[in-house]
């Protein structure tokens, strides 16, 4: 028998809020997190806007001496993890510490540290490079710092699977608990890649929207006039627990995670597969893992980045996976408000998917103005929607053709299936 795994804690740092409640209220209001970049001078950049975290002070969470040793993505991970752990009511003891783990992924890690220390190397010499450069920048130190901070001695890992990284962290954590290697996992994604090199690189790829005159409407998933994604930052963390363990300690349970899929397109470094094979198979694998039928799913939080090819490809994959049921599904992209958090996208969007089930509210796809004949599903346009959903998917796809799908289920207080 596979062990049941439930969600007991949620934490968020996003461009539209620095807590779960603030972020969710922004989604329900259709608030955009996109604006002109304030972190550096963009006067000579072709793209001058992003979705930055706002009014965030790491010293609210971390001592100044320690904060200086960490990249911003680690700051975000710690803040979101603190919220999720407090939300769960989890207390670390000698008895449970070795069965409690961390799995927090990132697509890039801390680009700021790389750019800053590289400049020091060139201009001031190798002796000026910080001894904390490497541990402030590498991807696994978000999970490592959360583990050290709270005394979690179980599995401690991270993936760097681009924009699927947060989804993979949650799915892998689900399997770690399911097979008995941990009872609790603090998992998700964190990212802080709004830097000169990152923005210049994504712009050079022509991956970013260039709506410099209208940033708040730049991210428009599935809309005919979409022209690229908006790079964003933040963190999304969940506390996953084995069901019986959570019940014994009297934890409040949000929902269950029941399915996980991971696949590769094996097609192209950035373009989606023409046949949508990888995306179709990743959703099918999550559904099969959960032991349900496709028609039981009522909502998909789509990857939906606002790129011309990506949104079309995901739409086609959904139609091929679900057949006629695709037109009965609600599908929305919260990236229309948050922008694209890269390796943290799967973390925050898993939180959104869980809340959609729990609160009977589907977040909208904002900026949806001109329908695209090739994207013809129900994208919950512009306004949130009341709905009772028993099963919901969260999709995440990354460069290199790496895919993740997470399947969540509504939880009944008596412990029975939805």
What SS3 class is residue 244? helix
| Portions of the chain given CATH number 3.40.47.10 | 5-248, 255-410
Structure tokens at 160: 């760097």
Alpha helices in 230-372 (DSSP H): 243-248, 277-290, 308-322, 335-338, 345-359
The pLDDT of residue 412: 84
Nearest to 185 by CA among 104, 254, 80, 300: 104
Give the model's pLDDT for residue 415: 59
**What's the rounded mean pLDDT across residues 298-306?**
98
Q: Which residues contact 12 (CB under 8 A, 6 or more apart)?
A: 18, 19, 20, 23, 80, 83, 234, 235, 236, 237, 348, 351
pLDDT score recorded for residue 97:
97
User: What per-residue confidence (pLDDT) applies to 343?
Assistant: 98
DSSP assigned state of 318: H
pLDDT per residue as tens digits for the range 369-399: 999 999 999 999 999 999 999 999 999 999 9
Torsion angle of C-alpha atoms 44, 45, 51, 53, degrees rounded to 10: -50
Cα 377–chain centre separation: 23
Tokens representing 150 are 């709270």
CATH number of 255-410: 3.40.47.10
**CA–CA dist 60, 74 (Å, integer):** 14
pLDDT recorded at residue 413:
73
Q: Are 189 and 166 in contact (CB under 8 A)?
A: yes
Angle at 271 between CA 217 and CA 52, to 5 degrees: 35
* Token pair recorded at residue 111: 């680009």
Q: Look at the chain and count its residues.
A: 418
Mean pLDDT in the chain? 97
DSSP 51: B
User: Can you tell me the mean pLDDT for 360-374?
Assistant: 98
Smallest Cα–Cα separation from 406: which of 364, 344, 366, 354? 354
pLDDT, tens only, 245-297:
999 999 999 999 999 999 999 999 999 999 999 999 999 999 999 999 999 99
Q: Beta-carbon neighbour count of residue 155 at 10 Å?
A: 20
Cite the active site residues: 163, 303, 340
Say whether pLDDT at 334 is over 80.
yes
Reported as a single tens digit per residue, the pLDDT across 137-196 is: 999 999 999 999 999 999 999 999 999 999 999 999 999 999 999 999 999 999 999 999
Question: Would residue 227 be called left, alpha or beta, if left means φ above 0 and alpha means ψ between -120 and 50 degrees?
Answer: alpha
Question: 57-96 pLDDT, tens per residue?
Answer: 999 999 999 999 999 999 999 999 999 999 999 999 999 9
Report residue 1's pLDDT band, with 50, 70 and 90 as the boundaries.
confident
Instruction: Provide, rounded to the nearest whole percent, the portion of the chain with pLDDT above 90.
Output: 97
Tokens of 408: 């969540």
Integer Cα distance of 180 and 245 in angstroms: 12
Burial degree of 266 (CB within 10 A; 0-12, 13-18, 19+): exposed
Q: Is the pLDDT of residue 417 over 90?
A: no
Q: How many CA atoms lie within 13 A of 390 on its CB side?
A: 10
Of the candidates 306, 283, 308, the residue with the CA atom closest to the CA atom of residue 296: 283
| Whether 41 contacts 24, CB under 8 Å | no
- Give the DSSP letter string of 284-310: HHHHHHHT--GGGEEEEE----S-HHH
CB atoms inside a 10 Å sphere around CB 301: 29
What percent of the chain clears pLDDT 70, i.e. is strictly above it? 99
Q: What is the pLDDT of residues 205-253, one digit of tens each?
A: 999 999 999 999 999 999 999 999 999 999 999 999 999 999 999 999 9
| Contacts for 196 with CB less than 8 Å, ≥ 6 apart | 40, 45, 115
The topology under which CATH files domain 5-248 is: Peroxisomal Thiolase; Chain A, domain 1 (3.40.47)
């Amino acid at each position: 028998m596979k062990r049941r795994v439930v969600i007991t804690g949620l934490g968020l740092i996003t461009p539209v809020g620095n807590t779960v409640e603030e972020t969710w209220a922004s989604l329900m209001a259709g608030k955009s997190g996109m604006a002109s970049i304030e972190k550096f001078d963009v006067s000579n950049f072709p793209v001058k806007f992003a979705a930055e975290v706002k009014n965030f002070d790491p010293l609210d969470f971390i001592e100044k001496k320690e904060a200086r040793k960490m990249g911003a993505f680690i700051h975000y991970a710690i803040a979101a993890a603190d919220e999720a752990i407090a939300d769960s009511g989890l207390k670390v003891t000698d008895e449970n510490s070795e069965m409690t783990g961390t799995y927090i992924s990132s697509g890039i890690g801390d680009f700021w540290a790389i750019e800053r220390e590289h400049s020091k190397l060139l201009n001031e010499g190798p002796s000026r490079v910080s001894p904390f450069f490497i541990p402030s920048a590498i991807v696994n130190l978000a999970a490592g710092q959360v583990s050290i901070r709270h005394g979690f001695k179980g599995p401690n890992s991270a993936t760097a699977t681009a924009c699927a990284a947060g989804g993979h962290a949650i799915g892998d954590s689900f399997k770690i608990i399911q097979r008995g290697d941990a009872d609790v996992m603090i998992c998700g994604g964190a990212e802080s890649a709004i830097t000169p090199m990152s923005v210049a690189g994504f712009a050079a790829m022509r991956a970013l929207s260039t709506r410099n005159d209208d940033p708040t409407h730049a991210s428009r998933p599935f809309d005919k006039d979409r022209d690229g994604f908006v790079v964003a930052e933040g963190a999304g963390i969940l506390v996953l627990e084995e069901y019986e363990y959570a019940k014994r300690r009297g934890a409040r349970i949000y929902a269950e995670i029941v399915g996980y899929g991971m696949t590769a397109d094996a097609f192209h470094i950035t373009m989606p597969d023409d046949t949508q094979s990888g995306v179709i198979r990743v959703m099918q694998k999550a559904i099969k893992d959960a032991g349900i039928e496709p028609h039981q799913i009522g909502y998909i939080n789509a990857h939906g980045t606002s790129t011309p090819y990506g949104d079309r490809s995901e739409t086609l994959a959904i139609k091929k996976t679900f057949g006629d049921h695709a037109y009965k599904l609600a599908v929305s992209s919260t990236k229309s408000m948050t922008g694209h958090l890269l390796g943290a996208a799967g973390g925050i969007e898993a939180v959104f998917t869980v809340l959609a089930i729990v609160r009977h509210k589907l977040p909208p796809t904002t900026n949806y103005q001109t329908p695209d004949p090739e994207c013809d599903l129900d994208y919950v346009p512009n306004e949130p929607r009341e709905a009772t959903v028993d099963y919901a998917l969260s999709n995440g796809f990354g460069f290199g053709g790496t895919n993740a799908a997470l399947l969540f289920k509504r939880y009944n207080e008596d412990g029975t299936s939805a």
